[in-house]
A and B are shown apart, each in its own frame.
Chain A
């Protein structure tokens, strides 16, 4: 499968714990995006990378959220001190330089904070 992959698919954690999610984009894609989706809503943009550079992070929900893409390949999204309101689906997408706006999504990581 050469699509976007995300791990884990599901994560259950207790309030106050830190969680980290991983995204592996389509191999030739140099742009990688993170979105959050709550029940009944469309995905909401969080941040994106072009290669290893994080070009937009003002839409991250709070300073508890951070993302990295150290080698310009896979990316991680970390949420520190999780809160119940962080429960959502976290989606990753990627796109190529030639069709930058055509974003292909992964299956998502479903986070449940107890």
Chain B
């Protein structure tokens, strides 16, 4: 399948390492954020979300950190696996607004 990752920032890690993917968002009014994973030729897959009244949220092997002061979001993946290789997008929205605005995306490459 064709890659969605052309011309994207790329993070290359070894299997078992921890990965950190960063995202700067633009709208200070945004109060809800989602991280999506997109594999080549597939639609974005929901990973984890966070609301602006939190600064950290944990899921299975993933943690999202939110810094509203500098409008920065990060996704941490623990013990990265080859199956984590994909393009990761952050998306933002705000209460009363129904659409998501996506960031540029980061390609994560995990080598065995």
Contacts and interface: CB of A to CB of B under 8 A. Distances in A.
Interface stretch (A12-20, A61-69, A99-107): A99-107
Interface residues of B, number: 28
A41 interface: yes
Contacts of A55: 98
Nearest to A92: B43
Interface string B1-17: 01111111000000000
Nearest to A43: B102
Interface string B48-62: 010000000000000
Interface of B: 2-8, 32, 34, 36, 41-46, 49, 89, 91, 93, 98-105
Interface of A: 4, 6, 31, 33, 37, 39-45, 48, 55-56, 59, 89, 91, 100-108, 110
